[in-house]
Amino acid sequence: MHIRTLTGSLAAVLVLSTPLLWGGQAVAAPSGAPEQTSAARLLTYDTSGSAEFRAAVDRGAAIWNESVDAVELRPAASGQRANIRVLADNGWPRALPTTLGNGTVYIGRQAVNQGYDTIRISAHELGHILGLPDRKPGPCSSLMSGSSAGTACTNRYPNAAEKAEVEGNFAGTRSGAPEPAERTGSAGPVPQVALIGD
């Protein structure tokens, strides 16, 4: 995963420069000073219901982690309520986002049986949870083109525009702490649900 940092060198320059401007004494920052990072928004996912697609889901999450800085997808710890639930079924792949970063993904066997790449399906459906819409028809170079790129397309990576859109969706929401999974019930607002297919 990419992490943007304010390097120790830049911090040291700032520490050294400010006192000199006012006639004070400059003091060097310790050489082992930790770098400051802008932590990604952490989202957890649960693959306990993803059957034979567990490895494909893990790889799809890793692809997003390699591709963007603003969000990080991690498997949920045992007993932890996950932001994203991933299930396998016999239908067509789809995502049911509830709010940005929360929802349910179905890895449908229908598309897999037709020859679509399971990791591309996984990364595509996780893209919906990260706020991306389908882009149909689309070229294979677009992850969000989904099935319109055909079964020969095995591109599993978002293009530059898709990466930028996810970065924008999560800008200002970075925390580094796990994002609480959305709770349902009368205590909070009712989430809007959208069925987003391949």
Scan for tokens 């995502």, then name that residue: 95
Q: Using one digit for the tens of pLDDT, what is the confidence trace for 125-154?
A: 999 999 999 999 999 999 999 999 999 999
Sign of CA dihedral 57, 108, 67, 194: negative
For this structure, is 52 an active site residue? no
Written as six digits, the tokens of 95 are 């995502």
Bridge partners of 37, per DSSP, are: 5
Predicted confidence (pLDDT) per residue in 60-106, tens digit: 999 999 999 999 999 999 989 999 999 999 999 999 999 999 999 99
Per-residue confidence at 181, pLDDT binned at 50, 70, 90?
A: low
Share of the chain above pLDDT 70, in %: 68
What pLDDT sits at residue 93?
98
pLDDT value at 193 more than 90: no
Long-range contacts, stretch 146-152, CB < 8 angstroms, 24+ apart: 146/197, 146/198, 147/111, 147/116, 147/198, 151/114, 151/115, 151/116, 151/117
Single out the residue of 170, 187, 152, 175 nearest to residue 64, CA to CA: 170
Q: Is 143 within 8 Å of 162 (Cβ atoms)?
A: yes
Among the residue ranges 5-14, 107-116, 150-159, the one predicted with the least confidence is 5-14
What integer pLDDT is reported at residue 39 of this predicted model? 84
Catalytic residue chosen out of the listed positions 72, 125, 162, 165? 125
- Does 122 score more than 70 pLDDT? yes
Q: SS3 of 37, please? A: strand
| Stronger pLDDT, 126 or 195, i.e. the higher one | 126
What is residue 42's predicted lDDT score, i.e. its pLDDT?
97
For residue 29, pLDDT over 50 is answered with no
pLDDT above 50: residue 36: no
Q: How does pLDDT run across 158-178, given as a tens digit for each residue?
A: 999 999 999 999 997 755 555
Q: What is the pTM for the complete model shown?
A: 0.73
